[in-house]
């Protein structure tokens, strides 16, 4: 059983499992799936203030905090108990391209040549981790939700704003991957 859990799950298993969370949440309490709202709930709970954005009954959304805690705990368990000790498999073409940018360490889920404490204070690290993190947070707030909320919950409810947001997420991902990331990796 443990060997089966350690294998990557095919899309036709993982996808429906993720998709089934939408009707399950709707049936169990008319709840919406989304992750980014959890930060708002945490801030409202931990920092009571007179800021109107945090003036609401966050206790009604405590289920969301348990949901996100489960995701965090599941990630920790999977990373510690189910991790594959082998280096991440990267195609020869991609490996050659990344080597041109100085990225050669595939011993963990993300290349340590990009994501590590040592690279955080380089131009590449600041742009990718700090500026990128800010843009993700800003974009999430500006779009009224995160990729999971819009692409999983919003699209399944046939919401036009979620379709627009998801198309913009995809366009932004393509532009970043093909145009911006190669420039950043050259820094």
Give the residue extent of every domain in the chain. 1-83, 114-187
Mean pLDDT, range 120-129, rounded to an integer: 91
Q: Hey, what are 116's tokens?
A: 């590590």
Mean pLDDT, range 97-111, rounded to an integer: 88
pLDDT given for residue 92 in this prediction: 93
Answer yes or no: is pLDDT of 144 > 80: yes
pLDDT given for residue 161 in this prediction: 93
Helical packing angle, 132-143 and 160-175, nearest 10°: 160
Contacts of 87 (CB under 8 A, 6+ apart): 106, 107
pLDDT given for residue 96 in this prediction: 94
CA–CA gap between residue 66 and residue 56 (Å, rounded):
18
């Amino acid at each position: 059983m443990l060997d089966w859990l350690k294998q990557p799950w095919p899309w036709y298993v993982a996808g429906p499992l993720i998709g089934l969370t939408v009707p399950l949440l709707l049936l169990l309490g008319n709840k919406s799936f989304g992750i980014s709202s959890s930060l708002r709930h945490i801030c409202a709970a931990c920092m009571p203030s007179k800021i109107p954005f945090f003036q609401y009954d966050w206790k009604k959304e405590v289920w969301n905090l348990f949901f996100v805690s489960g995701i965090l705990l599941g990630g920790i368990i999977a990373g510690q108990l189910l991790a594959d000790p082998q280096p991440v498999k990267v195609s020869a073409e991609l490996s050659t391209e990344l080597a041109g940018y100085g990225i050669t360490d595939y011993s963990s889920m993300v290349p340590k040549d990009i994501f590590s404490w040592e690279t955080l204070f380089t131009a590449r690290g600041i742009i990718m981790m700090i500026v990128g993190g800010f843009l993700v947070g800003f974009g999430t707030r500006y779009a009224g939700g995160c990729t999971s909320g819009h692409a999983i919950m919003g699209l399944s409810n046939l919401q036009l704003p979620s379709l627009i947001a998801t198309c913009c997420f995809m366009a932004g991902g393509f532009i970043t991957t093909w145009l911006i990331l190669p420039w950043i990796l050259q820094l």
